[in-house]
């Protein structure tokens, strides 16, 4: 798919939220959006890192319009506070990039008793989207972009074991969370279409990139991967961000599409339509996941979007 980020038309006056914009792929997505004139709200948990990232973006793009708001996607109270803060400062939201991700190497439970990766990667973004989607103009240029992963191909939704306490594979919880992101994007698109909205829900994955997800990996394994494996399967965060940017900005994008690199094992290369599992297309499972997500976040997700 032919997509040149440098040829994208200016988006002056548009507002974008990028979760996890202080590092990795999210940082490069924020750079790309700022470059074309968007006001970029950097939604970050660590404010010190966010301020450093903002300064770095401004060094690269001196005209960038950036704002920082604190957001911890594993904490429902933080998500609700972020939404209130955003609504007090902005009257519309054009792009919501649900980028932030967490990879744990052992089972971690958040304050709500939910496995932390499922809570952060999926439920946190589900709640954030529910709280802000009514601010999106009724246009196909308004996008909710969810980030999945190649890891979704190893997953299913463990409806009877969402905390993955009975699973034996170390990455079962992470893979489930990224599958949930993909299925949420699809179900959101179906419901948007049913509501008559022109807003698009799309999904993307970055391929293979040393984006910060692997910081908690045992150091010996981390450096072995980085030195001996990385050159063959990883690409830069800037290159990885292209799949997300095409999902957010591409003129020919259709709701429900899924983008990713087209090179070796889909780990790197130019962006295009990504492959996905048959399980991820299960509409009944996606609808069930939606209902469970409403219950777990205690948030009814209404789509009252009949705007002119």
Rounding to the nearest 10 degrees, give the CA dihedral for residues 145, 195, 141, 71.
-40
291 within domain boundaries? yes
pLDDT value of residue 217 = 54
pLDDT value of residue 8 = 79
Does 174 qualify as catalytic in the annotation?
Answer: yes
pLDDT in tens, the chain (308 residues): 566 666 778 999 999 999 999 999 999 999 999 999 999 999 999 999 999 999 999 999 999 999 999 999 999 999 999 999 999 999 999 999 999 999 999 999 999 999 999 999 999 999 999 999 999 999 999 999 999 999 999 999 999 999 999 999 999 999 999 999 999 999 999 999 999 999 999 999 999 886 555 555 555 555 555 554 555 567 899 999 999 999 999 999 999 999 999 988 899 889 999 999 999 999 999 999 999 999 999 999 988 644 43
308 within domain boundaries? no
Domain that holds residue 265: 10-297
For 114, half-sphere exposure in the C-beta direction (CA atoms, 13 angstrom radius) is 21
For 198, half-sphere exposure in the C-beta direction (CA atoms, 13 angstrom radius) is 9
Q: Work out how many domains the chain is built from and give that number.
A: 1
288 within domain boundaries? yes
Question: What CATH number does the domain containing 19 carry?
Answer: 3.40.50.720
Q: Which of 101, 104, 108, 107 is nearest to 178 (CA)?
A: 101
pLDDT value of residue 196 = 95
Q: Which of 149, 193, 138 is nearest to 305 (CA)?
A: 138
104 within domain boundaries? yes
33 within domain boundaries? yes
Catalytic residue among 76, 90, 105, 174, which? 174
- Cα-trace Rg, the chain: 18
Q: pLDDT tens, 144-186?
A: 999 999 999 999 999 999 999 999 999 999 999 999 999 999 9
Six-digit token string for 117: 């990766």
Find residue 18's DSSP bridge partners: 42, 97
Residue carrying structure tokens 């450096």: 223
Residue carrying structure tokens 């705007």: 307
4 within domain boundaries? no
Contacts of 131 (CB under 8 A, 6+ apart): 79, 80, 83, 299
pLDDT value of residue 303 = 85
307 within domain boundaries? no
2 within domain boundaries? no
């Amino acid at each position: 798919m032919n997509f040149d980020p440098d040829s994208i038309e200016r988006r002056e006056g548009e507002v974008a939220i990028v979760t996890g914009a202080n590092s990795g792929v999210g940082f490069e997505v924020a750079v790309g959006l700022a470059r074309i004139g968007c006001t970029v709200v950097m939604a970050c948990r660590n404010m010190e890192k966010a301020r450093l990232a903002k300064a770095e973006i401004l060094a690269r793009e001196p005209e960038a319009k950036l704002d920082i708001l604190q957001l911890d996607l594993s904490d429902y109270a933080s998500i609700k506070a972020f939404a209130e803060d955003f609504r007090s400062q902005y009257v519309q939201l054009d792009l919501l990039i649900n980028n932030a991700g967490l990879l744990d190497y052992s089972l971690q439970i958040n304050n709500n008793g939910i496995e932390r990766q499922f809570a952060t990667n999926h439920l946190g973004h589900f709640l954030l989207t529910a709280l802000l989607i009514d601010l999106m103009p009724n246009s196909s240029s308004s996008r909710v972009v969810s980030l999945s992963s190649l890891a979704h191909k190893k997953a299913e939704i463990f409806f009877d074991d969402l905390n993955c306490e009975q699973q034996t594979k170390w990455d079962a919880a992470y893979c489930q969370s990224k599958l949930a992101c993909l299925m949420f994007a699809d179900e959101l698109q179906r419901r948007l279409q049913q509501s008559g909205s022109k807003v698009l829900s799309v999904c993307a994955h970055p391929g293979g990139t040393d984006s910060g997800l692997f910081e908690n990996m045992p150091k010996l394994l981390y450096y072995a991967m980085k030195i001996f494996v990385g050159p063959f399967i990883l690409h830069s965060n800037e290159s990885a961000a292209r799949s997300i940017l095409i999902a957010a900005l591409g003129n020919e994008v259709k709701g429900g599409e899924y983008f990713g690199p087209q090179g070796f094992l889909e780990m790197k290369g130019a962006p295009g339509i990504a492959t996905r599992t048959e399980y991820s297309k299960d509409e009944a499972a996606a609808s069930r996941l939606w209902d469970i997500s409403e219950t777990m976040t205690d948030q009814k997700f209404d789509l009252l979007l009949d705007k002119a």
